[in-house]
Amino acid sequence: MALWRRSSSWLTSCSRAPAGIGGGNEAKVSPEVAPEDAAEQIHEEAEDEERWSRLLPELLTDIVRRVDAGAERWPPRRDVVACACVCRRWRDAAVAVVRPPLECGRITFPSSLKQPGPRDAPMHCFIRRNKSTSTFYLYLSLTQALTDKGKFLLAARRFRHGAHTEYIISYDSDDLYPGSNSGVGKLRSDFLGTKFVMYDNQKPYDGAKSLKSRSSRRFASKQISPHDSGDNLEVGQVSYRFNFLKSRGPRRMHCSIQCPVGQGTASDPSKEKPPSTSSSLSLKNKAPRWHDHLQCWCLNFHGRVTVASVKNFQLVAPAGTSDPWGVGDEETVILQFGKIEDDAFTMDFRHPLSAYQAFAICLTSFGTKLACE
């Protein structure tokens, strides 16, 4: 079987929506393969990869550039990922052609989830919650509708460990357990659920071998863009202010997130120039106004939120903290999150936050916080 066809079929299977975490791949039974058949298959795949890698660099770059230009949205954008799956030379060409979200406003590779979002307009996403399994799924919106089929990006599951709660965040909707090979990071709360610490625990992995060893419903294959080594690195904090007087009002939250001031332009972190500096971005929730007629607190979500909820919020940068990133004034909303259905919420974010950071911040809003309300 040609490598291109194998990669494309795998991408088709991993583009389906997650079906939850019950069972996973542990329940699947694979047919036994004779050693000689396995060796022959590996040899054929190596020959296919060598054949594809013989294309002239100029021709290869032109092919990838044409595919990228003709696939501006998902699901057609999977063709760009398929190009990166062919072999190492094709991957390098795709990385050189595809621009990061900050420049093109699109998410293509897994590494895009940890790169700053677009500067000019927010990136529209939505989160679906499964209360029975304590799982949360992040999707990229494909249309102007509040919810649609969406493109699966990340998944998270909530675990309770003694006096604190943890959220395991993963690329794989079927692998949401501590120590997951597809883990992106985690979120840990204190006993009261008012203070959260965000960690980046992405570990290095070995290139194209992941595709041969395991196939599952993932955002995209791990062989596309290896990440830098990092094990439980603290990258942000979110805190909710206590309401000592028990006065009626919305939650008050404060975020401190590590964001690069000088960001590279490559789509693959292994190809990026290291950021010149990394600084802490401070964000606070935008104060809502009291509506006398409706008798409730209100924020202008520009039609992206339809249900009143204590979980709804907008984050802005306080005065004097936005200059390093060119965020703008206090009226520029960096992240907004709000309810549209019983278990569906919109999540819109922009530069300098990444999709992973925005998702982690929104996860802190779930759960009861009696001390803050």
Q: Output the six-digit token pair for 100.
A: 């990061």
pLDDT of residue 12: 41
In-domain check, residue 144: yes
H-run or E-run covering 103: helix 101-104
- Whether residue 202 is found in the same domain as residue 66: no
Last residue of a domain, one of 57, 83, 98: 98
Query: Cα-atom radius of gyration of the chain, to the nearest Å?
Result: 22
Domains in the chain: how many in total? 2
The three state secondary structure string of 198-246 is: EEECCCCCCCCHHHHHCCCCECCCCCCCCCCCCCCEEEEEEEECCCCCC
- CA 166 → CA 38, 40, 135, 252, distances in Å? 41, 45, 12, 21
Q: What values do phi and psi take at 205, rounded to 5?
A: -140, 165
Residue 159 in 3-state DSSP? strand
**CA 215: distance to chain centroid?**
20
- Both 84 and 132 in one domain: the answer is no
Same structural domain, 227 and 359: yes
Task: Return d(Cα 202, Cα 186) in angstroms, integer.
Answer: 10
Q: How many CB atoms lie within 10 A of CB 298?
A: 12
Residue 54's domain comprises 3-16+35-98
Q: Do 268 and 356 belong together in one domain?
A: yes
Residues contacting residue 161 through CB under 8 Å, at least 6 positions apart: none
What is the CA angle 102-108-114, rounded to 5?
55
Same domain, residue pair 80 and 190: no
Residues 70 and 151 placed together within one structural domain of the fold:
no
Q: Do 199 and 296 fall within a single domain?
A: yes
- The answer to the question of residue 112 being in a domain is no
Are residues 228 and 359 located together in one domain of the fold?
A: yes
Residue 36's pLDDT is: 61
- Is residue 165 located within the same domain as residue 127? yes
Instruction: Count, in order, helices (H) and strands (E) of the chain.
Output: 8, 14
Q: Are residues 68 and 134 part of one domain?
A: no
- Three-class SS of residue 257? strand
Residue 129 is assigned to a structural domain of this protein:
yes
Distance CA(372)–CA(232), nearest Å, equals 28
The reply to whether 29 falls in a domain is no
Per-residue model confidence (pLDDT) at position 174: 87
Residue 103: inside a domain: no
> For residue 1, how far is the Cα from the chain centroid?
32
Give the tokens for residue 186.
Answer: 């985690």
pLDDT of residue 195: 93
DSSP 298-335: E---TTS--B--TT-EEEEPPTTSSGGGT--STTSEEE
Residue type, 66: R
pLDDT tens, residue order, the chain (373 aa): 343 433 333 354 344 455 544 444 455 666 665 666 566 666 566 666 666 677 778 888 998 999 998 888 888 899 999 989 888 888 999 999 999 998 888 999 999 999 999 988 999 999 999 999 999 999 999 988 887 788 999 999 999 888 889 999 999 998 888 877 788 999 999 888 889 999 997 644 333 333 333 434 444 444 443 344 446 789 999 999 876 545 566 788 999 998 877 654 445 544 444 544 667 888 999 988 888 887 788 999 999 999 989 899 999 988 766 556 666 567 889 999 999 999 999 999 999 999 999 999 999 999 765 555 5
> Contact at 8 Å (CB) between 267 and 225?
yes
Which of 81, 98, 115 terminates a domain? The answer is 98
Asked whether residue 81 falls in the same domain as residue 144, the answer is no
Q: Is residue 142 part of a domain?
A: yes
CB 139 within 8 A of CB 153: yes
Q: Pairing state of beta strands 233-240 and 289-291?
A: unpaired
Other CB atoms within a 10 A radius of the CB of residue 110 amount to: 25
Tokens of 184: 């992106």
Residue 336 to residue 334: CA distance in whole angstroms = 7
Is residue 76 domain-shared with residue 132, that is, in the same domain? no
- End-to-end CA gap in the chain: 59
CATH number for position 322: 3.20.90.10
On whether residue 355 sits in a domain, the answer given is: yes
pLDDT value at residue 325: 62
Please tell me the distance from the alpha carbon of residue 297 to that of residue 308, in angstroms, as a whole number: 9
In a domain, 139, yes or no: yes
